[in-house]
Structure 1
Amino acid sequence: MLKVKTLRCEHFNNPIGLGCLNPRLSWHIESDNLHVIQKRFQLQVSLSAEFENLHWNHFTYSDQSILVRYEGPPLESGQRYYYRVKVWAQGAGDAEPEESAWSEPAFWEMGLLYEQDWKAKWITVRERSINKDFNARSPFATTKRFAIEGKVNKAVIYATSLGLYELNLNGQRVGDAYFTPGWTDYNDRVQVQTYDVTHLINQQHNRITATVGEGWYSGYLGWQKRKDTYGDTNAILLQMKISYEDGHTELICSDASWQETGSAILMSDIYNGEIYDARLEITEEADDKVNGQKMMQEMQFPLRHLVAQENEPVKIMNRLHPVELIHTPKGERVLNLGQNMVGWVEFKVKAPAGTVLKLIHGEVLDQEGNFYRDNIRDAAQEITYICSGNGTETYQPHFTFQGFQYVKLEGFPEGISIEDFTGVVLHSDMEPIGVFETSDAKLNQLQHNIVWGQKGNFLDVPTDCPQRDERLGWTGDAQIFARTASYNMNAASFFRKWLKDLAFNQMEDGSVPFVVPDVLKGVFADNTGRTTAAWGDAAVICPWTIYQSYGDKQILAQQYDSMKAWVDYIRIQGENEYLWDTGLQLGDWLALDSEEGSYFGATDGTLVATAYFAYSTQIVAQTAKLLNNYNDFKTYQLLHEGIKVAFVDRYFDETGRLTSNTQTAQVIALHFDLVPDQHKKKVIQELVHLIEKKHMHLDTGFVGTPYLCLVLSDNGYADVAYKLLFQNDYPSWLYQVERGATTMWEHWDSIREDGSFWSTAMNSFNHYSYGSVGDFMYRNIAGIDLIEAGYKKSRIAPKPPINLTSARGELKTPYGPLKVHWQIVKNEMQFEVDIPHNTTAEITLPCVAEVEEVQRRIMEHYPSITNPPVNIPPELAEKMGLEGKRDIFNMNEEKGLTFTLGSGNYTFQYNYEHPTRVPVHASRS
């Protein structure tokens, strides 16, 4: 039976508070048939879930089932819209398309779309207390009482702040989002959150309270200990719309009539932690006596800066139970969460009033087993709680987060146990969409580390590390990890929001800052050194990656001017428009072939810059073509061709060797298709030779590592790629696993073989960049890749490593789940694949021992395979009795059998011919 399921609006499930005027709608198709393709669809939008009166009724002949743009009448602020879909789809053996029933209805709800919709005022307190120890302003709280007269049909709050805020309505926390309104460049954009609070409204007396902390707006940011990046006055803006059953509405708005109220939070800062005095918690009645006469002050801030929430908010995503309570050699009590995590510790305690408790957070223990936090630098990462003495007390922080695995406990009574503590994990609420598992436990742990590195660093923006006095949105880190991130989680909205800030922060000349939001302005002398290749290229590579992964062409349109501006900026650097050979270049950052004490790898920084120049220019040309801008397409296509010629002239010698003889130089030249055909064999052999010289180990840094294994595999050296992947001594990915890592490290030797540390200056144990190898693992081991954007056409082509017996990969594509499971039992390959409906897949069965027999069995079990056109030699078709049928099979040199299938579930079993293994040595010619 044909069904329509999993309706989504702008990648979200039933979102409220949308700000886009033409939201896009998607759905999945379910069917028991094979080769199912949508032929037409009907999409209805109504103001009621019963669809009595249609707001928009759209019928069209199309196979589009993702991101269908709403083109109905203009949408109204605060209005909820219901939608449903039916499709006509044709599968194998169907003479005519089958008609589905209507889907279950879904909805979206608009936020406040226009400046004039706002009646609320920005408000702040008249005076702020200062915590002298940290030179931080204490959070403030403000409250409003209101009465309800009549039966409430619906109540919705629209809120934002300059700083971070939490809301409480009638003693209950409003919503489950944290660190709202999120981190944007407040000079341009401030996000607004929408909450349906109908269930929290009392029949008569009500009280709403807002608490506001400094957060990213005015708290400490960066290692320069800067404050007040966007301003020095925190404020709240709140508007509640109450709709009654009799049809009238009422607004509760923040203004000067709101009262200041007490707060037990004495200090709360992202880097430094929080100080909370539970003795200051007082009842509403007592609070009215103390603060009842302190009124709030209105202030001016542009309403035009307000935008609806664009990405998934930060939420509590996991709760971890500690694994042990340690007494270190120094006599400290240290809690071990068993996982390097980001969030905070929730605890319960019973102690006399005034007892001071401290929780100090760190990532690792030192060589002697003592608590260690020197790598945290100047971020205090400390929670101070002063007990009220009122029985058992439970606490968790408010406007701060920590990156840690270990917590030193000070001041706690002797009777505490690990059951009194819970690790609360927070990150952006992106849907997990990828699964990668193999028969190797250490490789599975590596995947675990990659995912947890993403969790810890995708907290509203893609940060470089979540623990020390940095936690900034480094563009290069995001760029090299974007594809892996898009396998693990649905990162479409996460990147869409962040890339808007990148465009806002882009300088007038087109250069892109190191970090977004850009809080490093002025850090470098004379504003020089604020951009570099690979980092600034995030402006181009990230939107392209999101388009490829989710089929979302709108992100290309959104970022197109920014993408062009970046390439145009590079073009005017130096005397040769086809080379980028000027200015500061970070190059292959943190590569192991760097000089002692240097962060810069040995690869020529201008070679790296010019290679990325070529890659970004090629992407801009492709983007221009997709957006039907053919003049730009020709311009950037010609520019790309010129860069390729200039690259060869500058960076290859007369013998066809790269002038920068490093692993990374060979890798990026090959990956960015900058090597002339006649030199490719020499360059890939030189890469293998350089790996051999390191005793089959890598020495790449941030730039070379993401593409290293992919380049080897794509050029016939998958065995070398796997040799690198499965190494477990230094330097390697599994070396970190062997040392007990639960997230990715910033350095290959963050912990050295003797147990000492690489450095204290820059040594994060939760830094996702080298987790970019996850892209290779999904593509080559699970075998999941794309041919057409959004996986409209997929490529299923695993290359089983000799030391694995099974692997399973799953990906929730925009069209539905794509699944691959292979296992080798003795010499038999058991291969199962699920292809989402309304898509096709090119499948390659690896290492087929008996080609003709496998082809015959495939034809017998899946006769509908003849629908998609693929090639088969005529003589083989005649031998198989397939004369007159479409050509369907291809073979490659590794005896991989390739063919195209439509949607459905398929199982293949065949004799597996293990690849012949020869010594890895590559001859040099």
Structure 2
Amino acid sequence: MMLSVSKLTLDHEPALSGVERLPVMGWKIESRHRNVRQTSYQLQISHDICFNQIVFDSGVQHSEQSNNIVLANVALIPSARYFVRVRVQDNYAETSAWSEPAGFITGLLDSGWRAEFISAEKPEDKDNSKATLVRKTFEADSHKSISSAFAHVSAWGIYQLYVNGNKVGTDELTPGWTSYAHHLLYQTYDLTDILCGGLNVIGAMLGAGWYKGDMGFTRDRNYYGENTALICQVVITYTDGSQDIINTDESWEGDDSPILFAEIYDGEIYDARQEQTGWSSQKFTPRVWRPVRVMAGDKTVLKAQASGAVKQTERLKPVAMITTPQGDRVIDFGQNLSGWVEFCVKGRAGQKVILRHFEVLDAAGNVYLDNLRSAKQRTEYVLRGEGEECWHPHFTWQGFRYVKVEEYPGDVDLNNFTAIVLHSAMEQTGEFSCSSAELNQLHHNILWGLKGNFIDVPTDCPQRDERLGWTGDAQIFCRTASYLMQTRNFFAKWLTDLRYDQTPEGGVPHVVPDILTNHCGKDRLLADGGTHSASAWADAAVINPWTMYLMYGDTRVLEDQYDSMKGWIDFMEAHSEHHLWRYKLQFGDWVALDAKEGSYFGATPNDLTCTAYFAYSTLLFSKAASVLNRTADHRKYADLHDKIVHRFQQEFFTPAGRLAARTQTAHILALYFNLVPEAFRQRTTETLVELLNEHDGHLVTGFVGTPYFCHALSQNGRLKEAWQLLLKDDFPSWLYQVKAGATTIWEHWDGIKPDGSMWSADMNSFNHYAYGAVGEWLYRVAAGIEADEDQPGFKHAIIQPRPGGGLDWLDARYQSIYGAIGVRWEVSGQTVDLRVSIPANTCATLLLTDGKTLHETDGIDFVPCVQGYTAEVGSGEYRVKYALV
């Protein structure tokens, strides 16, 4: 059979565990034909995998839609399992077989929480960083067969769930970090094959985490509460339809765990001598455990998390053992990462393993800890002294490439050490390679910057005493991240917290979740300037939802965030003067190299950057209103956008067309955000090139200008300069970091200076993804895989590769929601050999920019256009050869 459904997704995931509304459905179609379009589909939902208990059948729907399908009037029951399958017919009159089923489990829905929050801590433990245990024994009816059993679990703090002696699931750091007072996620775990008839034991280990732990560069604690607590509701359904429900309540018991200390920044201390072996198993006979306390808490804030929890994703072995000039033993894992070190050790009871985690060696080759600031990044394990012991932390994580071994019984054997990579579970969707090894390493660094910082929230760095969800970083990297990985659910979760943490007036915090407000009295900058509503940072409220729509075509994020988006635009308008906007503390072109000596603030005026983003976000919001058929809002904000642009041009352009602020970033924003009067576009572009040449082809831009620099050039006839900028390899440049041995993106262009000295230790992360925002240029321009906002989610793609930079070849693939879009080009002299892959049920516009002569067209009907040649193509594999101008 030529036609098949290769992948069925639910909310863009292969499976979901814990949903509160019917997921968005979608599927990928495979066919060896060209120009394949779906003509109809039939979708079924069943309680069983054999589809003998069908609860919904769409019948044959004559539709081309194969993604973002929202079904109405399907009533879900709580704590139940469902399976979904689909079959399709195409325009060749072929009908596929039924797809492999995708499954989901519902959460509690409207059945409500019977469970209570319980804690093994005492009120006086509010400043304690130890972990605790809670447990309960219960009987499942041994005279009945269990049909299903699901645990719905959350916590104040971080928890790990155990049943009958084993950890449940593969999630880590649950329930993650959210705006807990408004939005606390719970996870759903399948216990069907774990529980048995008769005696069972359920338990959990709880740590301080973000909830009550020591957080933020102010090093405060108890932001959300003073004690950890667990809430758990187990629903057992028997084959006769009867149910048992086991809840957290006063009948549970608690005790201290072997984790004596666990904090996100400072690490973990574990004393294996205090383990109570088998504490969560049926055969365990406990010492006297203490009663738990039932804690009052708002259960209405509990929302199901169906996917995207943090998981162990990779395991890396060391690449070298180093003895530093100062005599320290250091393990090099060869890759800057976020996660844990797992080790095995033998020794006497009471002996210790102590590790310190760090990112770089200094110029002399010694351990460099200064850029961690007050974060200890230290783990300590006390041996129990019984054979080989293997361990890794539980309620912390470290950002590191290197590990200093401060104590370890016996010889340090590298075979006993493994780095475990942690990040939010997301499918990798982008692949990139080319003839430049340095550019390949840059792509690698960008990807690992994402891995290192997408740990439940998009953090600014994973090593020092910060790790906060800075909105500016997340905004500028959002598009790049969404080529690299399927970020829809990751960002949808984070944007929910942005919405909850907005001020009543619509202001957007600098960090989400917001732990700066009311905690920055000792920080002069934030105390005086405020903790919300900085241009380019707060615009994440609009830019990120729009990017999700553009990349995935799903209107749900736009709908969910609509009031938040509108609130931010209205906030800017309320605080603008004649459509020029700025407000209190602005970060501007943060850490740009044209800043004054000793300053973090770039030279581009704040009122220019603020008003530029005011215009851009207003434009995107007006488009979002149009997508959602909010016609009045669309017209209102489109008109507002026009007024802002007009005011920008009045204020910042002279009558002769000179942009008043003579900085690279000012010209980049004016060009990329389409704020330049058309008559002045060429002059503005030429001035940008002049500014580039004044620095010998180097950028001096910061957070605001850097993401769009290559775009501003390539969109305005300066592709050569864009490639040259990208491929610069001396300071400052992306490839300077690569040549310096970086394996992730640095926070500063000169994190390590050419002479080997360090930028200020005060703020010098070597895993800080913001400047990795150039990654989208690699996919959108170099490879030419561009979305069409009129048919988002790559239902219609614009394929416009831009060979250059002296590269011999480039190969990129993006796994869209419809399937893989592939582009490979090879250049020989002036001839380009182009291969393109378009997934079934989509189409594309193919643009051969600067194409002079067509040599091979593979049956494609090209027509000349201003750029070169263009054609409309359907799905399939194509190979074209053409000569460049």
TM-score of the two chains, using structure 2 as the length reference: 0.96
Q: Contact conserved, 1:261 with 1:291, CA < 8 A, in 2?
A: no
Displacement, 1:117? 2.8
Q: Do structure 1's residue 385 and structure 2's residue 387 form an aligned pair?
A: no
Q: Do structure 1's residue 143 and structure 2's residue 135 form an aligned pair?
A: yes
Displacement, 1:575? 3.1
Deviates more, 1:517-526 or 1:825-834: 825-834
Q: Contact conserved, 1:259 with 1:291, CA < 8 A, in 2?
A: no
**SS at structure 2 position matched to 1:566:** helix
Q: Contact conserved, 2:160 with 2:205, CA < 8 A, in 1?
A: yes
**Counterparts in 2 of 1:816 and 1:532: CA distance versus 1, 3 Å:** same
**Counterparts in 2 of 1:168 and 1:618: CA distance versus 1, 3 Å:** same
Q: Contact conserved, 1:608 with 1:668, CA < 8 A, in 2?
A: yes
Displacement, 1:574? 4.1
Q: Contact conserved, 2:477 with 2:769, CA < 8 A, in 1?
A: yes
Displacement, 1:250? 1.4
Give the Cα–Cα distance (whole angstroms) in 2 for the partners of residues 775 and 225 of structure 1.
35
Q: Do structure 1's residue 253 and structure 2's residue 256 form an aligned pair?
A: no
Give the Cα–Cα distance (whole angstroms) in 2 for the partners of residues 643 and 734 of structure 1.
37
Give the Cα–Cα distance (whole angstroms) in 1 for the partners of residues 783 and 13 of structure 2.
27
Displacement, 1:305? 0.8
Q: Do structure 1's residue 778 and structure 2's residue 779 form an aligned pair?
A: yes
Q: Do structure 1's residue 103 and structure 2's residue 105 form an aligned pair?
A: no
Given residue 512 of structure 2, which amino acid in structure 1 is its aligned partner?
A: V
**Counterparts in 2 of 1:285 and 1:624: CA distance versus 1, 3 Å:** closer
Give the Cα–Cα distance (whole angstroms) in 1 for the partners of residues 582 and 411 of structure 2.
64
Displacement, 1:205? 3.0
Q: Structure 2: 5+ residue runs without aligned partners? A: 521-525
Q: 2:873 aligns with which of 879, 898, 901?
A: 901
Q: Contact conserved, 1:310 with 1:497, CA < 8 A, in 2?
A: no
Give the Cα–Cα distance (whole angstroms) in 1 for the partners of residues 741 and 41 of structure 2.
52
Q: Do structure 1's residue 189 and structure 2's residue 192 form an aligned pair?
A: no
Given residue 843 of structure 1, which amino acid in structure 2 is its aligned partner?
A: L
Counterpart position of 2:54: 54
Give the Cα–Cα distance (whole angstroms) in 2 for the partners of residues 126 and 835 of structure 1.
57
Give the Cα–Cα distance (whole angstroms) in 2 for the partners of residues 285 and 750 of structure 1.
47
Q: Contact conserved, 2:3 with 2:31, CA < 8 A, in 1?
A: yes
Counterpart position of 1:830: 833
Q: Contact conserved, 2:353 with 2:409, CA < 8 A, in 1?
A: no
Within 5 Å, give how 1:234-253 maps onto structure 2.
234-253=228-247
Q: Contact conserved, 2:7 with 2:100, CA < 8 A, in 1?
A: no
Counterpart position of 1:122: 117
Q: Contact conserved, 1:795 with 1:842, CA < 8 A, in 2?
A: yes
**Counterparts in 2 of 1:650 and 1:154: CA distance versus 1, 3 Å:** same
Counterpart position of 1:891: 865
Displacement, 1:73? 3.1
Given residue 40 of structure 2, which amino acid in structure 1 is its aligned partner?
A: R
Displacement, 1:249? 2.1
Superposed CA offset, 1:321-378 (max 9, x none): 0111111111111111110010010001111111122111110001110001100001
Displacement, 1:245? 3.3
Give the Cα–Cα distance (whole angstroms) in 2 for the partners of residues 205 and 72 of structure 1.
40
Q: Contact conserved, 1:170 with 1:200, CA < 8 A, in 2?
A: yes
**SS at structure 2 position matched to 1:736:** helix
**SS at structure 2 position matched to 1:348:** strand
Counterpart position of 1:329: 325
Give the Cα–Cα distance (whole angstroms) in 2 for the partners of residues 242 and 171 of structure 1.
19
Counterpart position of 2:30: 30
**Counterparts in 2 of 1:280 and 1:293: CA distance versus 1, 3 Å:** closer
Name which one, 1 or 2, has greater alpha-carbon Rg: 1
**SS at structure 2 position matched to 1:225:** coil
Counterpart position of 1:505: 501
Q: Contact conserved, 2:339 with 2:422, CA < 8 A, in 1?
A: yes
Give the Cα–Cα distance (whole angstroms) in 1 for the partners of residues 274 and 184 of structure 2.
32
Question: What is the root-mean-square deviation in Å for CA atoms of aligned residues?
Answer: 1.8
Within 5 Å, give how 1:583-594 maps onto structure 2.
583-594=584-595
Counterpart position of 1:882: none
**Counterparts in 2 of 1:272 and 1:86: CA distance versus 1, 3 Å:** same
Displacement, 1:288? 6.8
**Counterparts in 2 of 1:385 and 1:656: CA distance versus 1, 3 Å:** same
Displacement, 1:130? 5.8
**SS at structure 2 position matched to 1:779:** helix
Q: Do structure 1's residue 304 and structure 2's residue 315 form an aligned pair?
A: no
Give the Cα–Cα distance (whole angstroms) in 2 for the partners of residues 771 and 284 of structure 1.
46
Q: 1:272 aligns with which of 266, 275, 278?
A: 266
Deviates more, 1:23-32 or 1:757-766: 23-32
Displacement, 1:222? 0.6
Q: 2:556 aligns with which of 554, 557, 570?
A: 554
Displacement, 1:129? 8.0
**Counterparts in 2 of 1:61 and 1:269: CA distance versus 1, 3 Å:** same
Counterpart position of 1:77: 78
**SS at structure 2 position matched to 1:479:** helix
Given residue 25 of structure 1, which amino acid in structure 2 is its aligned partner?
A: M
Superposed CA offset, 1:270-328 (max 9, x none): 11100000111133589977643522121111110110005500000110001111111
Give the Cα–Cα distance (whole angstroms) in 2 for the partners of residues 311 and 902 of structure 1.
33
Q: Contact conserved, 2:423 with 2:452, CA < 8 A, in 1?
A: yes
Displacement, 1:247? 3.5
Counterpart position of 1:535: 537
Give the Cα–Cα distance (whole angstroms) in 1 for the partners of residues 679 and 71 of structure 2.
51
Q: Do structure 1's residue 495 and structure 2's residue 491 form an aligned pair?
A: yes
Q: Do structure 1's residue 444 and structure 2's residue 436 form an aligned pair?
A: no
**Counterparts in 2 of 1:610 and 1:126: CA distance versus 1, 3 Å:** closer
Displacement, 1:898? 1.6
Q: Contact conserved, 1:457 with 1:768, CA < 8 A, in 2?
A: yes
Give the Cα–Cα distance (whole angstroms) in 2 for the partners of residues 126 and 100 of structure 1.
57
Counterpart position of 2:203: 209
Give the Cα–Cα distance (whole angstroms) in 1 for the partners of residues 324 and 568 of structure 2.
52
Within 5 Å, give how 1:615-626 maps onto structure 2.
615-626=616-627
Counterpart position of 1:684: 685
**SS at structure 1 position matched to 2:874:** strand
Given residue 687 of structure 2, which amino acid in structure 1 is its aligned partner?
A: E
Give the Cα–Cα distance (whole angstroms) in 2 for the partners of residues 527 and 689 of structure 1.
35
Displacement, 1:425? 0.4
Displacement, 1:828? 4.4
Counterpart position of 1:420: 416
Counterpart position of 2:762: 761
Give the Cα–Cα distance (whole angstroms) in 2 for the partners of residues 279 and 183 of structure 1.
31
Q: Contact conserved, 1:260 with 1:291, CA < 8 A, in 2?
A: no
Q: 1:565 aligns with which of 553, 564, 567?
A: 567
Counterpart position of 2:213: 219
Counterpart position of 2:64: 63
Counterpart position of 2:455: 459
Displacement, 1:572? 1.3
Given residue 46 of structure 2, which amino acid in structure 1 is its aligned partner?
A: S
Given residue 891 of structure 1, which amino acid in structure 2 is its aligned partner?
A: C
Counterpart position of 1:869: none
Q: 1:229 aligns with which of 223, 230, 239?
A: 223
Q: Contact conserved, 1:539 with 1:566, CA < 8 A, in 2?
A: yes
Identical positions, percent: 44
**SS at structure 1 position matched to 2:762:** coil
Deviates more, 1:553-562 or 1:236-245: 236-245
Q: Contact conserved, 2:10 with 2:24, CA < 8 A, in 1?
A: yes
Counterpart position of 1:652: 653
Aligned residues: 871
Give the Cα–Cα distance (whole angstroms) in 2 for the partners of residues 43 and 25 of structure 1.
9
Within 5 Å, give how 1:673-712 maps onto structure 2.
673-712=674-713
Displacement, 1:626? 1.0
Superposed CA offset, 1:567-609 (max 9, x none): 1101111432x11044322110110000000000000111000
Give the Cα–Cα distance (whole angstroms) in 2 for the partners of residues 400 and 359 of structure 1.
14
Q: 2:430 aligns with which of 434, 448, 451?
A: 434
Give the Cα–Cα distance (whole angstroms) in 1 for the partners of residues 178 and 71 of structure 2.
27
Counterpart position of 1:885: none
**SS at structure 1 position matched to 2:873:** strand
Deviates more, 1:437-446 or 1:410-419: 410-419
Displacement, 1:629? 1.0
Counterpart position of 2:523: none
Given residue 510 of structure 1, which amino acid in structure 2 is its aligned partner?
A: G
